[in-house]
Structure 1
Amino acid sequence: MSELCTPSRREAKRHETALRLQQCGLRLTLDRGFDGWTIDDLAAAADVSRRTVFNYFDGKADVVLGSGIEVDQDKIDAFVAGGPTGRLFDDLIVLAHDAIRDRTDEQLITSLREAVVSDSRLLALVHERLEEAATGLAECVRQREGDAFPARQSRLLLKLLLTFFDHALDRIADDPSQTFTEHFDATVADARGALA
């Protein structure tokens, strides 16, 4: 029986350590700026070795921003095939939900927002990551809708999606009693209402 429990304990410990590293990285960024600390500073703040930091993250950007936006490949395949609802915008929202599913630590999200807003270097890294994600998503839209689908329309949909994320971040700063996902859904509902 204890062997069955070991992997879940190990996963929980791994998640806890990664979260502690990210929290320390954000705290250092808020205190010193993104370029004002080193991986050695992070290791000392989190009371781990430098090697441990690199067992969890590839570098400073990954520590502070997380490992990137990940969406389950099966859901991407379903999207490209025209699902799950058959309505492009609604299906983009489903993918967005998958991307934020594991990012539910509201305190971490609030700290991340504060760090990004206060540090231009970090803001540039966020924009770079979002541009990479948008490029990948635009390719998925092209595969789904075909080459004749207007590129401008595709970019507009993706910019709307990014605006929803940004607005949800503003909302959570104003009202931390709700989850990021709840704020994201409320933002989408507000946009639908305004455009109806």
Structure 2
Amino acid sequence: TQLFSAQASELVLAIDEGIPLTRLPDVLKNLEQQFPQLQVECLTASSPDIIELVKSERATTGIILSDLQMPRHIDFTNLGNIAFDVYVSSDHPLAAQRITHIDQLKQYRQLVIRSKSAEPGSLNQALSPDIWYADNYYILLELANKGFGWCFLPEHLVADSPNTLKKVGDDFTKLAWQVN
């Protein structure tokens, strides 16, 4: 699978901010060596917004979390997996509980990611009746860190950020929260 046409003079790469960027510099270095005249622009957005950026041709390539239905005219390939877990502030009431069922989480505010056009992804379904939304994982991380609620976050994002977050619900969350 190619990121772009070899004849292209520009690559606009839109990346979901929930995806680790550890390999991006190496990929860009290879592109720079193979295509020294290539102009590169990197954007970040939520996965549903990236699909819209590619559909509208604002972005030539998108790297997304594939919990979404892909439109027929967009090519898709799997680049790997990302683990998600449920996190709360260490000061949140849920942090002191042993969470064995999702119904325990529903009693508290959930922090959910969705697109700028208010489109939720299937990975980040609203499960609680009390919900706050944000359009990126960094805001969710900060809100959870300050005790505003619980949320699903990529493990690497939590590991790479200074925070007081506690992972909860290991008994049930590991079964369904791996994304491609």
Q: Fold conserved (TM > 0.5)?
A: no
Bin the TM-score by the shorter chain. Answer: under 0.3
Structure with higher helix content: 1
Q: Which has the larger radius of gyration?
A: 1
Structure with higher strand content: 2
